[in-house]
Amino acid sequence: MYGQEQYARWGYYLFHYPYTAQSDANFHVYTRQGVEADVVEHCSGDKSYEGAESSSEYEFSDVEDEVGKRLSQMVSIPHVPRINGEIPSFDEATSDHQRLIDRLQMYDLVECKVQGDGNCQFRALSDQLYQSPEHHEFVRQQVVDQLESHPEIYKEYVPMAYREYLKKLSKWGEWGDHVTLQAAADSYGVKIFVMTSFKDTCYIEIQPRILKSRRVIFLSFWAEVHYNSIYPKGDSR
């Protein structure tokens, strides 16, 4: 649980930045000297989904292929799963944000901003999976179902009572973390690549336990503050 002071700091970030906060088993971290790009102001238009099973059957798109090519030169390093860390100070958050901007610019990528309401990780996943951030509640439920169905896979990474963790995550506005990203990858059977603002970690690759689709999910992560969906610069969506 976050204390009152942390929530106050979080409110400060939301006021000064149009963003939200946030957060591995089969994770790989990519490191490279790097340094963001113009930001896409609005995400894709609302498009309905036909269920989680159909999302895993989507074709590997040209957009995903293009982003993958731009990031394919990095070398992976094993990384341990974790829940969210502490919210950074204002100065640290500002520095981290600029680092993320520089890295996205380096790879000619842009962010599709999603709302900063505590659901940003699930909104960003929804935008990638269903071309709209509005199905975040459905994505959250898929993730919670995955966590609930396979506690033996995830509970060792959760430093609290697992049932309490699931109860919290089921609530609207509860932040996702690296454990929920692994559960999302496992549930949908897709790889998730995350461009981060960490000083020593440029890029994280999350592998599903069973690969069900050639689809790849691309997200940006302003460490402990916000997730967005990312695309190649110039993409029309």
The catalytic site residues sit at 117, 120, 226
Q: How far is residue 115 from each of residues 17, 31, 172, measured CA to CA in Å?
A: 11, 28, 13
Q: How far is residue 234 from each of residues 34, 73, 225, 228, measured CA to CA in Å?
A: 21, 21, 26, 17
- 123: tokens are 């909104």
Three-state SS letters, 159-189: CCCHHHHHHHHCCCCCCCCHHHHHHHHHHHC
**Length of the chain in terms of residues written:** 237
Q: Torsions phi, psi of 208, nearest 5? A: -70, 155
Q: What burial class does residue 163 get, using C-beta atoms within 10 Å of its C-beta: 0-12 exposed, 13-18 middle, 19+ buried?
A: exposed
